[in-house]
Amino acid sequence: MQNTIYITGADRGLGLALSTVFLEADYTVFAGRFMNNWTELDELKQQYGERLHILTLDVTEQQSVDTAAAYIREKNRGQLDILVNNAGLFKDRSEDIFGELNYEDMMNLINTNTFGPLRVSQSVVPLLLKGRAKMLVNISSEAASLTDCWRKKEYGYAMSKAALNMQLTILQNHLSEFGIKVLAIHPGYVKSYMLGVFNDEATISAMESATNMMKQILKLPTIEEHMFIDYLGNKIDW
């Protein structure tokens, strides 16, 4: 049976690059799409045909998450090898502690960056149990590190990723007995649309990040290995 991977937030940027590199590696890819006006996934579909499944997905809506999981279960005989929770937001109009804090923006960040992955993970854990790789991968950030924090603002984003890392620690505590490995990967400072517009000032391309992340994922690290790494495999402190 074909190796399979489910990637959320695959419309553009890092998610699209991850879809591309795993298709090139002969995986069947289930790609979650939030924005229908981006056509890059459709172009990949023309190239890879039945090995790419494009799913409408809003990770903040339970019904959308459940519908996507049901589709994967039906199309792939109830199993899945790898999940990559990539969908995420950065937008926050908040300032520092002396300025305005936009709590609505921060709640949106937590709903997307923290609860979104939890919704998706819960929806497909039964499929991962029957898969071969049993990898539950999440795009975290160096912003989640308490040890190495240098920020004086960006409360919403940093807290949403720190909370994600706690979620993943709890998941690994539980899922270790079922043979599922959980990873939190910092993708690097990627040229992408995380800021709402394309960030050309970042240091690496989405394809460079995705290619190296795929290498780390396909190493199939053991459950005992440190969960929080960057895209090159370097350990990041909690």
How many of the other CB atoms lie within 10 Å of CB of 2? Answer: 10
Query: What is the per-residue DSSP string for 119-151?
Result: HHHHHHHHHHHTSSS-EEEEE--GGG-STT---
By residue count, the chain amounts to 238
pLDDT score, position 195: 64
3-class secondary structure per residue, 15-76: HHHHHHHHHHCCCEEEEEECCCCCCHHHHHHHHHHHHEEEEECCCCCHHHHHHHHHHHHHHC
**Rg of the chain's alpha carbons, rounded to an integer?**
17
What SS3 state is found at 5?
Answer: strand
Which domains can be identified in the chain, with CATH numbers? 4-230 (3.40.50.720)
Tokens at residue 105, please?
Answer: 């923006």
CA distances from 194 to 9, 23, 72, 150, 206 (A): 11, 23, 27, 20, 11
Mark the ranges of the chain whose per-residue pLDDT is less than 70: 193-196
Residue 215: predicted pLDDT? 98
Residue 142: partners with Cβ closer than 8 Å, 6 or more residues away: 148, 186, 230, 236
